[in-house]
Amino acid sequence: MAPRVVVIGLASDFGCQVQMTNIEDDLLDVLGLIDLQYWQLASSGHMPDSYDVAIVEGAVTTLEHIATLERVRATASAVIAIGACAVTGGIPALASHGRLEERYSLVYGDGPSVAPGRIKPQAVDSVIDVDYRIPGCPIDMGEFVQVLSRALQGLSDHLPQEPLCAICKTKENVCFYERGEVCLGVLTRTGCDARCVSLGRPCTGCRGLAEDANLESALRLLDERGIDTSDVLVRARLYNTLEEAFTR
């Protein structure tokens, strides 16, 4: 029997779920390996009571989300968090520190009916154990296919650890630091094939901090090149607000 899979969306713009439809050449092969029982973006049905693999997009922002994830963890053999929002808190996490209620009121108005049970935005693994992570905004579909394959085979997660600069050099890209511009590749986890930088756009850190990222050394390097380090920290918080290095 094919593994039963569900796709769940929490707080996000559903961009990673939309990205899942862009597998193109691999889509039919992937669908042929699984029994896709529920996909929040594409289905009006209800979550089944039983399934094997849960793919979760989005940050946790309500008590309902917590309850959903607890049910998911109790049911699924494997949980895959996809996208920056689910893996690091992403853009929603920007509202995590200070004046949360004020922010909600400013956008949605007042009253108990506005986002009942809301909590500070957080990553999925702050609520439940996650077996596989696919960072990025949006996710890379090649990586998605690989990780889903690992989950279906029961193999362990293999999240890249080194900073993006490691792969960017092999692409022979001209470093943005040479131009006096901010690029977060020195801090950001690789795995995206340096796509943005290769297209002429500096890294914005959407894959989260690399395992061995050295923030102090990176700031010192930027300062030596005359780059405003305060601007670097502001940019790095865009996707990494909840990281310990940026909560001090």
Average pLDDT over residues 37-54: 89
Mean pLDDT of 44-53: 91
| DSSP string across 104-158 | HHHHH-SSTTSSTTEEEEE-GGGTS--SEEE-SSS--HHHHHHHHHHHHHTPPP-
Position 145, amino acid: V
Is the predicted pLDDT of residue 76 greater than 90, yes or no? yes
Which of 97-101, 172-176, 212-216 is the least confident region? 97-101
Residue 229 has what pLDDT? Answer: 84
Lowest-confidence region among 89-93, 119-123, 240-244: 240-244
Residue 64 pLDDT: 94
**pLDDT of amino acid 25:** 63
CATH 3.90.50.10 correct for 4-153: no
**Average pLDDT score over the chain:** 88
| Cα torsion angle, 11, 14, 15, 19, sign | positive
Q: What is the pLDDT of residue 61?
A: 93
Highest mean pLDDT: which of 32-36, 113-117, 197-201?
A: 197-201
**pLDDT > 70? residue 10:** yes
Percent residues over pLDDT 90 in the chain:
51
pLDDT digits (tens, 9 = 90+) for 161-205: 889 998 998 999 999 988 888 899 999 999 999 999 999 999 999
Taking alpha carbons only, the member of 112, 85, 110, 81 closest to residue 96 is: 85
Asked if 202 contacts 178 with a C-beta cutoff of 8 angstroms, the reply is no
194 C-beta neighbours (distance < 10 Å), count: 20
Rounded Cα gap, residues 170 and 172, in angstroms: 5
In this predicted structure, the answer to whether residue 115 has a pLDDT above a threshold of 70 is no
Domain residue spans of the chain: 4-153, 165-246
pLDDT, residue 27, reads 63
